Structure 1
Amino acid sequence: MAVNPNYPVIESAWGPAWDYNAGAVPADRYVDVTGRTLGTFSGSRGRQAELDQVQAGTASVVLSNPDGAIDPANATGPYAGRILPFQPFRQRAQWPPSVNLLNSTQATCGAGLGGTVIDTSAAGPSMFTETDPAGGQFLTSGTAAQGSTVAQFAVAATATATQWICYTAQPAVRAGQTYTVQLQVRNVTPGTTVQVAAGYRTRDAKNTAASTAVGSTATLVGNATAAWTQLTLTATAAANAAMQFVGVQVVTAPGSAANIQVDAWQLERGSAATTWVQPGTWYGMFAGFTEHNPSQWQMDGTYGTLLPPSTDAFGLLSQVKLPDPLAAEIASHNPRFIYRLDDPAGSTSAADSTGKSPPMPVLSSKYGKGALSFGAAVTANDTVTGVFTGSSGTVAHFGNPSVGANTFGPCTYLSLTGAGITGPVDAGAGWTRMIAFRYTGPTPAYAADLWCCMDNTRNSAGAPAGTTLIISIDSTGHLALNSSGPNSAGANLFVPPWPAVTDGNWHLLFLTQNAATGQRTFRLDDSGFTQTIPAGNIPQGLTMDSIGAFVDNQIRFTSSNFGGEIAFVAEFPTALAVSDRENLYSAWKASCAGESTDARYARILRYAGYAGPTSIQTGLTTAMGPADFGGQDAVTALQAVVDTEGGAHFVDGSGTVTFQSRAARYNTLTPAYVFGERVDLGEFPYEDCQPDQDSAHLGNQIAVTQQGTGQVFTAVDDASVKAYAPRTLSRTINSLDPLECQDAAFYLASRYRQPLMRLAGIKLHPSAYPALWPVCLALELGTRVRVMRRPVGAPATSYEQFVENLAWTLDDKGDAVLTVQTSPADTTPYGLFAAWHTTLKTAAAIGATTITVNNSQDNTNPLAAQLAQGQQLKIEPGVTNAETVTVQSVGNTSPGWTSAVITLTAPLAKAHAAGIAVTELLPTGLTNPAAWDTATSMFDTATFAY
């Protein structure tokens, strides 16, 4: 394999063995189609300006297809039936270029990662093992074959022939290409012997074996200081290869367990092993999915090309429509059934929104009809906190007589039995049942049954005497679980220690049972209680399942009627974790209001079914309003979160969905790269620069709308209005904090009141100037750069910018151009003003007239310059033991001080422990000294107390 030292190794790879893969661009199992590329590859990612919505990244390539091998209509081709839309496509480049096709971690077996377990997740180095259940580890070694780390893998005594000790499938395969693999191995377990060989395998697009090759057997005799043995193998990829696997494998079962170490790994094209080299870094240029596969046949239909346009994960997520948060949260846990009970008025059954079960019929007792109606509105005694907002639908109303009484009489109820459901299904992982209810009857004289499950066992008097699982409101107004196993074994009445639920407000109840752990958990709203399941108490053989009363389907008698409303009758085929139940409650109660922007961003990705890699920074907006993205596409919903945060998001060159908080740009104060003609000053040359004094993004009359309330917060810059005429700029943000909405308006006015210099395009030409390759390949959206202009006879001009768009063009003649579009960095730096605060270094007793404090944030200036005589301080602010004291004098301190003594004007009235807070007095209602006074400060103003 010849290497051009001035041009990276380029790989264009397609994954016919994959499908959409939940939006995750896989790291391995690709076909290398680089040799088929014709004309120009182009790829673009980003947005035009920082106020714009990010666009889905796109790429286009023309693939030569004279043999018809990649023709979707070729039923006998090597990829027949596996050339489909939404398969992964990646474009990447290795710099510096080398013959070694592995990534650096694989080739060096963990350089710099000594002492860590090998990450076998999608974010890991794509190093895997079949013999080590733990996945292997990187170890620091003074006798490594190269460098200072090795990879070590356990091999069990029962390991079988052809099992991989270590392998990767990351490098894309070229059908018919000859490859050579080499690696160094040794056995470090004394008294053991293991036979190994280098291995090479390919599989086709349907993941069936295509070819197998094994190198010469090496017998590794165990020794703590064993010498290295080099394994090599030359093999040719099958004509229908869609992936390749290379590594070291077991030849015969070793008979005793051993640890095998691997180092100096190399895969190269060609029929002979060359000297091992450390490969350059593989940089992602584009990672996404083909949208469709249009073909062209020219020269009278004898020469074919394939032109698959590709889009990144945002392109596919933009096609995913989101339901309301509650429906999405429920669906994310794969429910067995979910009867929302939001059916139209007059319905005679309730529909299962999962589509997995038949409708649940409305039935009546043998004693006559009661009252059950659909279409009721969500109401509560407490109309503010007693309702739920996670769904805008209606609910079912139960208006039966004899509510809560042990009386046989008229009743209408919902029959899960009639839908073929006769109790929870336990597939080995437990189960969870969920029900939302509002009880409006009197405190039951006996019980009001929400959910009733039984079997057919009866005693001589005809009363149930078998398995039961009944959730009810008891005679004290509390929830209770009446349960027993077969033949009433382990009969148990469980009453969790909660407040009564007879308040006329909505509640959400979970009942989770995990037979594996022997525990059962009740969770009501935001609190839970767990009990050990009594012996023999696991429900089995249930034959009837009803909602809204005690129902014996054998003879259709009813009692213990429920009165009020019910919704969201659901079952999940697993014992949901605490976090899962918390998420469901949050979605039901308040549409996930109160969560941070990073949590909301991750939630939307989860609801959209995205399972790919993410990089999500902690958002600075910590309390968003209700999630109302129902009906929106996922990318629009994600963009709304970014707008609220004032941050950015994109899919990077390797396919990772990235969310950046607003702090990412606030805190990036220096450029990563400087572009200009002064190479002697470390600048990188560019060929074209197009600055523009952008007036399209002027804004001097700002209107920020708080999404949840519709309240509008304004900021006006009169000087800008006078200079440029009124220029409106509107933004809707979903923050619960009105002060944050006002701050957003002030910020937008501060930034956009004057026209800003934007660079519509900076042309970088790495193929003409190879020193640009590592810069161009490492550039990512959101990177801060500086662009220099030095006009003849005029002072140099500097543009401080953030990268907003990257557009690559590579042609088959070796030319490569990267066009970069940028937006300006903020022209004003920002600071955070805080009250003086520290902690007590030592405990202070009642009557003490001095306190010793630890250093505050400023320990360069003397403390006497920060605190004045007569100034008041608060010890333990915000708690009942708080005490206000007055400074009489401050002890001497010098730069770097770590503690200081403060003398007080009066003795302490209370004792205070070491480590508690000491701060300047704060405005009423504030307890956080590290926060600025949001009531008085705004952008472009400064307020000082002294």
Structure 2
Amino acid sequence: MSQNPNWPVLVGELNPTGNSNYGLGVAGCFADLTGRLIQQWGTARGRQFELDEVQPGTWSGVWDDRDGALDPSNTASMFAPNLVPYRPWRVRAQWPATVNLLSADQATGGEGTPLAPGTSGAPYFVTGAYGTPVVTASASAWSGTQVWQVTTASAAVGSALVSFGPLPVRAGAVGLPYAFSARIRSATAGANPTVAPSLAWLDTNGRTLSTTTVAPMALIGSATGGWTFAGVPDVVPVGAVAAVFALTMTVAPTASWSFQVDGAQFEQNTTASAFTVPGTWFPLYAGMVERYPQAWNDSGAFGTVTPTAVDTFALLSQVQFTDLMTAAIQAPRSASGAGLSFCYRLGEQAGSTQFTDATGQRGPAVVAPTGGVTAGVAQTSASPGGGYAAAPGTTVVNFNPGANAGTQNYLPEPCLILPPGPDGLYGPPRTGGFTRMVAFRQTNTTGGQDVWCADSPSSPTSTATMEVYQGSFYMEFADHNGGGATVNLGAVSVGNWHLAFISTDPAGLGWRACVDGVVSSGTFAKPWNPPDFFSADTIAADAISGVNNEFVPFAGDISWACQWPFQLSPAQMQQIYQIWRTAGTGDSTGQRYARILGLAGYQGPSLIDPGQTTNLPAATDIAGQDALTALSQVVTTENGQHFVDVGGVVRFQDRSRRAKAQAPTFVFGENTAAGELPYDTVAFDFDPTHIGNDIQITQNSSGTVFRAFDAASQAAYGIRTVTRTTQASNPLEVQDAAHYLLGRYAKARMRISALTLNPGTNPTLWPVCLALELGTRIRVNRRPPGAPMITFDGFVEAINWNADDGANATVDVQVSPADGWTAWTDAAMHFTYAGNLINGTAWYPFGGLLTDPAGNPVHANLSIGQRIAFLTTAGTSYPVTVTGLDGNGVGSVQLSSTAAATGPFTVCDLLPAGVTDPTSFDAMAVLGKTTTLGY
């Protein structure tokens, strides 16, 4: 099929069974609906200049639905019953246009990006039943210098050596021809396999509808031998939305061997044409179809659907946080999507005798009729660091068994009795694995005390118990067949709070536990497989045989009793513990952004900068907020940006991004002979709404308002107040932020309200428009007749595409001005020292080691008492203290060290947490043109 060389290959694709990477990843197959795109479509992404709130990115268009296939109520549709809200939708374009619909990486063994040798083909939909193909360098590649290679053992017959796909095809285009072709070879001398090329057609659920296989072909093994053409032409069958090309082995070599593929091509054609390296595929939009409005015109003869799509921010705006801890325990999900089984927070008010499951899946836990259980108790601890920060203000439950604490007896004692599950059974699930978590504070050390226990009356007794005994925390699993074990999980202090997890895998053989963030794991000698009957499930004592008699009762406070119907990972346990203990205290803005994103349930792709603001206070302020608002507050604190990019990736960019972007990526203007890019129209505006001369920033943690104002600006424009709230804990940073905003907004500044680019009529703009992204720095030159040239440097804040089925396409861009100064930071001092580090106090000959020792001697960079570091090539850092300067007048420095090590070293300033490269700040170490700001 011929392609218009002045127009990209533009496709719109729907995944009716996926979830747009918001949850557990994309499932099913994308269906190509390009043939149904009619009339106009467009996107809207970004924000109105730099001060307005970020909105979810949208796409809207029109689908031809005259056959009713895109009618959600049509049960006979090939898409039924999956046309429901929030199904993945993407628009992408290949430029330059080629007949090859693959990506350049798929077609050439990773030469498009390029991918490094050893890269797995799985993310690029190049897979195999005998091992995933990997990028491999080859001097005799069919095309270029790399190939896809899979190495397999002998006797591997009957499945695909290599598969490409699923590859989207025109949905509903029955009889439309497609052809897949590739060059293949056995790369091992003496390995002579026979393979059969095939093309399988898939429905929207990824199920195979039919397969076309051509005659098997015998290959002669050679590391540098020739390549064999393998191709399969076919036509789209009824119900197909995707195709998979496979090379299946029918005769296998007798020893391990390697198989290679190169020069792959998928095209809409009756037969394979000459191989072409594909043009670059650019994403234009990635989101989810939210609505499917239908209309029937021409007396019902012509049906249309006018879908609207939103990106991930739309879903994040609907996630409401009650508190940080609740969000943390709700985040883990099993592979099937299962979450918490129950959560008894135990935060009810004083006098309560029943305690609710926060998930609403179980009945209330009730107090055993013995007294000694007090609700509504304030959280306390024996030491300042012994409490927990999550969900501040919530109360806990106290258990007071009096003199019977830790005493084995068969008397009624204080405890909570948990109800059975939906299956009517007490205790943890018997199959599928589980995890239990509880927070506790022991106040009496007598004997052994059961924190949480499920047991049965069978002989011997089956149990799942959490217990403290003589200053240690134990888990005990036992069943009637001798399975399970008792494991000491480490010391726990008295009077302070602890968080403990115990878990088993689906087989009941592997166990995992976590106490105060320390994870341990192992296997039982015999699997733990208890019977289907537990008599009771109790907190703070062990109820025997369901008769409300208890023994070894617990004395102290308990909260957060939770269970999951699967085994949590070590990372999940540790994350919940860290949130419970500190609520994110000490986070950088990047860490806080990632934390909130994860707690919102997002498991899709993200690119998150570290953040320049560090040591944030506890993230207790997210309670009652939606996730997008919480994320936006982090961005405000950072003075950065966040958005969902054209590929659906959530991005957080810290303030250093724009500070470092000193040169424009693209230059637009009338002088195309000098390389300037043409535009249709440009509109400049002073936009007085973006004037601020009374800056008021409220520090969240203290409530203090930090101000900066400009009297001259107020006289010129009136008092224009800008208010912000920041999570930054350092008051100097908050004040710096106020002065930065004042410097940026005190004067009226020109902005570009509209810049229109027209790639539809000027093909040279296609690669520019397709590569344009939010936050890109650009320059626009305008040469008005009889007036000086206007030169505007700024950052792209919004991008709106407008296109139709008549080969018209324009892009409207809004741009905010770049700062009028060059931001800078003090770079870390660093130089190479070839000597050794001495344990103790010694003089070091550092004189002349800096690049400009005459004007910048070492002693000018150091002071007595300063801490610096010796950094090894392996990344180990040895901090030392400066105790003397300029020994003997030759630039020697006296240092005190508590360690000895062998050089060479990089001697440098102490680096911030997470930074291991002292050159990280060099690119920013440029003195400002007009002013310098530490913010």
Identify the residue that residue 434 of structure 1 maps to in structure 2.
437
Distance 2:88 2:685 in 1: 37
Could you say if the C-alpha distance between residues 871 and 816 of structure 1 is closer, same or farther in structure 2, counting changes exceeding 3 Å? Answer: closer
Q: Aligned partner of 2:140: which letter?
A: T
Shift of 1:643: 1.2
Shift of 1:313: 1.7
Q: Aligned partner of 2:317: which letter?
A: S
Could you say if the C-alpha distance between residues 143 and 931 of structure 1 is closer, same or farther in structure 2, counting changes exceeding 3 Å? Answer: closer
> CA contact under 8 A between 2:519 and 2:570: conserved in structure 1?
no
Distance 1:827 1:770 in 2: 34
Shift of 1:602: 2.1
Could you say if the C-alpha distance between residues 417 and 210 of structure 1 is closer, same or farther in structure 2, counting changes exceeding 3 Å? Answer: closer
Identify the residue that residue 222 of structure 2 maps to in structure 1.
223
Of 139, 147, 150, the residue aligned with 1:153 is: 150
Give runs of aligned pairs for residues 621-660 of structure 1, distance below 5 A. 621-627=613-619, 628-660=621-653
When structure 1 is superposed on structure 2, of 547-556 and 736-745 the one drifting more is: 547-556
Identify the residue that residue 497 of structure 2 maps to in structure 1.
506
Of 359, 362, 366, the residue aligned with 1:361 is: 366
> CA contact under 8 A between 1:372 and 1:396: conserved in structure 2?
yes
> CA contact under 8 A between 2:694 and 2:722: conserved in structure 1?
yes
Give runs of aligned pairs for residues 207-286 of structure 1, distance below 5 A. 207-251=206-250, 258-286=257-285
Instruction: Say which SS state the counterpart of residue 55 (structure 1) adopts.
Output: coil
Could you say if the C-alpha distance between residues 788 and 223 of structure 1 is closer, same or farther in structure 2, counting changes exceeding 3 Å? Answer: same
Identify the residue that residue 33 of structure 1 maps to in structure 2.
33
Deviations 1:674-725 (A, max 9, x none): 0001112211011111111232111121111122332222222333223322
Distance 2:368 2:28 in 1: 56
Q: Aligned partner of 1:153: which letter?
A: V
Distance 2:273 2:928 in 1: 65
Identify the residue that residue 894 of structure 1 maps to in structure 2.
none
Could you say if the C-alpha distance between residues 271 and 452 of structure 1 is closer, same or farther in structure 2, counting changes exceeding 3 Å? Answer: closer
> CA contact under 8 A between 2:475 and 2:502: conserved in structure 1?
no
Distance 2:103 2:410 in 1: 75
Shift of 1:22: 2.9
> CA contact under 8 A between 2:535 and 2:546: conserved in structure 1?
no
Residue 141 (1) aligns with residue 132 (2): no
RMSD: 3.7
Shift of 1:335: 3.4
Deviations 1:868-896 (A, max 9, x none): 699855575599973521325665xxxxx
Of 786, 796, 811, the residue aligned with 1:793 is: 786
Distance 1:178 1:943 in 2: 62
Distance 2:396 2:323 in 1: 16
Could you say if the C-alpha distance between residues 421 and 567 of structure 1 is closer, same or farther in structure 2, counting changes exceeding 3 Å? Answer: farther
Could you say if the C-alpha distance between residues 939 and 316 of structure 1 is closer, same or farther in structure 2, counting changes exceeding 3 Å? Answer: farther
> CA contact under 8 A between 1:202 and 1:244: conserved in structure 2?
yes
Q: Aligned partner of 1:167: which letter?
A: F
Identify the residue that residue 341 of structure 1 maps to in structure 2.
346
> CA contact under 8 A between 2:847 and 2:857: conserved in structure 1?
no
Distance 2:328 2:580 in 1: 9
Give runs of aligned pairs for residues 388-427 of structure 1, distance below 5 A. 388-390=389-391, 392-406=393-407, 409-416=411-418, 422-425=426-429, 427=431
Shift of 1:920: 9.7
Instruction: Report sequence identity in percent.
Output: 34
Identify the residue that residue 461 of structure 1 maps to in structure 2.
none
Distance 2:767 2:847 in 1: 47
Shift of 1:597: 1.9
Instruction: Say which SS state the counterpart of residue 636 (structure 2) adopts.
Output: helix
Of 731, 734, 749, the residue aligned with 1:741 is: 734
Could you say if the C-alpha distance between residues 903 and 395 of structure 1 is closer, same or farther in structure 2, counting changes exceeding 3 Å? Answer: closer
Q: TM-score, normalised by structure 1?
A: 0.86
Identify the residue that residue 853 of structure 2 maps to in structure 1.
862
Identify the residue that residue 130 of structure 2 maps to in structure 1.
132
Could you say if the C-alpha distance between residues 63 and 593 of structure 1 is closer, same or farther in structure 2, counting changes exceeding 3 Å? Answer: same
Give runs of aligned pairs for residues 565-714 of structure 1, distance below 5 A. 565-627=557-619, 628-714=621-707
Instruction: Say which SS state the counterpart of residue 692 (structure 2) adopts.
Output: coil
> CA contact under 8 A between 1:809 and 1:816: conserved in structure 2?
yes
Instruction: Say which SS state the counterpart of residue 597 (structure 2) adopts.
Output: helix
Can you give the 5+ residue segments of structure 1 that lack an aligned partner in the other structure? 459-464, 892-901, 923-927
Residue 169 (1) aligns with residue 192 (2): no
Could you say if the C-alpha distance between residues 266 and 917 of structure 1 is closer, same or farther in structure 2, counting changes exceeding 3 Å? Answer: closer
> CA contact under 8 A between 1:181 and 1:247: conserved in structure 2?
no
Larger radius of gyration: 1
Shift of 1:316: 2.6
Distance 1:382 1:720 in 2: 52
> CA contact under 8 A between 1:675 and 1:787: conserved in structure 2?
yes
Of 762, 765, 779, the residue aligned with 1:769 is: 762
Q: How many residues align?
A: 900
Shift of 1:402: 2.3
Could you say if the C-alpha distance between residues 840 and 534 of structure 1 is closer, same or farther in structure 2, counting changes exceeding 3 Å? Answer: same
Q: Aligned partner of 2:118: which letter?
A: V
Can you give the 5+ residue segments of structure 2 that lack an aligned partner in the other structure? 333-338, 870-877, 912-916, 922-926
Shift of 1:780: 0.6
Q: Aligned partner of 1:626: which letter?
A: A
Identify the residue that residue 79 of structure 1 maps to in structure 2.
79
> CA contact under 8 A between 2:373 and 2:400: conserved in structure 1?
yes
Identify the residue that residue 196 of structure 1 maps to in structure 2.
195
Identify the residue that residue 12 of structure 1 maps to in structure 2.
12
Identify the residue that residue 824 of structure 1 maps to in structure 2.
817
Instruction: Say which SS state the counterpart of residue 750 (structure 2) adopts.
Output: strand
When structure 1 is superposed on structure 2, of 378-387 and 231-240 the one drifting more is: 378-387
Shift of 1:189: 2.6
Identify the residue that residue 479 of structure 1 maps to in structure 2.
472
> CA contact under 8 A between 2:682 and 2:754: conserved in structure 1?
yes
Distance 1:164 1:802 in 2: 48
Q: TM-score, normalised by structure 2?
A: 0.87
Could you say if the C-alpha distance between residues 172 and 605 of structure 1 is closer, same or farther in structure 2, counting changes exceeding 3 Å? Answer: farther
Deviations 1:900-944 (A, max 9, x none): xx247x99999976668978999xxxxx99999xxxx99986699
Could you say if the C-alpha distance between residues 229 and 341 of structure 1 is closer, same or farther in structure 2, counting changes exceeding 3 Å? Answer: same
Could you say if the C-alpha distance between residues 378 and 282 of structure 1 is closer, same or farther in structure 2, counting changes exceeding 3 Å? Answer: same
Distance 1:943 1:328 in 2: 37
Distance 2:397 2:477 in 1: 29
Instruction: Say which SS state the counterpart of residue 814 (structure 1) adopts.
Output: coil
Deviations 1:705-748 (A, max 9, x none): 12233222222233322332221111112123333222221221
> CA contact under 8 A between 1:841 and 1:852: conserved in structure 2?
no
Identify the residue that residue 452 of structure 2 maps to in structure 1.
451
Distance 2:78 2:484 in 1: 64
Deviations 1:201-234 (A, max 9, x none): 2222243333322233221122223311111221
